[in-house]
Amino acid sequence: MPDVLTWLRGLPQPLVLLAGGMLVMADSGLLIGLLLPGTSAVLALGVLARLGVVHPALAGVTAALAAVAGTQLAYVRSLGSEFPVPHRFQGARERAAALVGRLGLPAVCLGQWLGPIRTLTPRLAARAGIPYRRFASVSVPTSAAWATALLAVGYLCATAYEALSRWLGFGAIGVAVAVAGVVVQRAGRTRPDS
C-alpha cells in the first residue's frame, strides 16, 4: 500500500481530479453508469482526498460540478430523441417515463440517489416532457448534494480504515474482510423456507 500511495501522490493533482470528474460526469451523461457507477468514482475521490492525493475542497468541487454536468448533459442529449433500449424493454421505458411525468420533480430528486436509476432519470424526465428549467431547479442542487455526501462518505471511510489498520494491522483487516465476505455469501444462500 505505501508504494501505491507514493505513486498516487506523485501524480499531478489536476490529472487525478480530471479523471475522477470525467468518470462522474460520464456516469449519467454518457450512460456508462449502468456499467461503471459514478458512485465508485466519487467515493474514490473522497478516499484520495483523505490520503492527501488531492485537496478535499477541490475534490468536492470537482465531484459536484461533474455530477451536475452529467445530469444536465443526459437531459439535453435526450430532448427530442429516444435513448436506445432493446425492443423488449421499450414498454418498460415508456412506463418509467410516464411514472416520472406523473411524479414530476420528486421523482427527479429521488432518482438521483438510487444507483443505476440515477443514469436514467434525466433521460426519463426529458422524455416525460418536464421542462428544462424545472428539471434543473431540482437536478442541480440534488446532484451536487449527492456528490458531496458520497465524497464525505469516502473521506470518512478512509479515516476509519486508517484507524482500524493501525489498531489491527493490514493482515488482520484482510482476514476480517474475507470473513465478512464469506458470511454475506452464506447468508445469501441460506434463506428461510416460506
- DSSP string covering 55-87, please? -HHHHHHHHHHHHHHHHHHHHHHHTTSPPP--G
Global pTM value: 0.73
In a domain, 72, yes or no: yes
Question: Considering Cα of 158, then 163, then 169, then 172, what sign does the dihedral take?
Answer: negative
Q: How many domains are there within the chain?
A: 1
How confident is the model at residue 160, as a pLDDT?
74
Residue 57 lies in a domain: yes
Domain residues for the domain of 38 are 2-166
Q: Tell me what pLDDT residue 38 has.
A: 78
H-type alpha helices, 104-169: 105-111, 117-127, 132-168
Mean pLDDT, contiguous 10-residue spans, the chain (194 residues) = 71 90 83 67 89 93 94 83 62 67 77 78 82 91 93 86 63 58 60 50
Does residue 91 lie within any of the structural domains?
yes
Looking at the domain assignment, is residue 183 inside a domain?
A: no
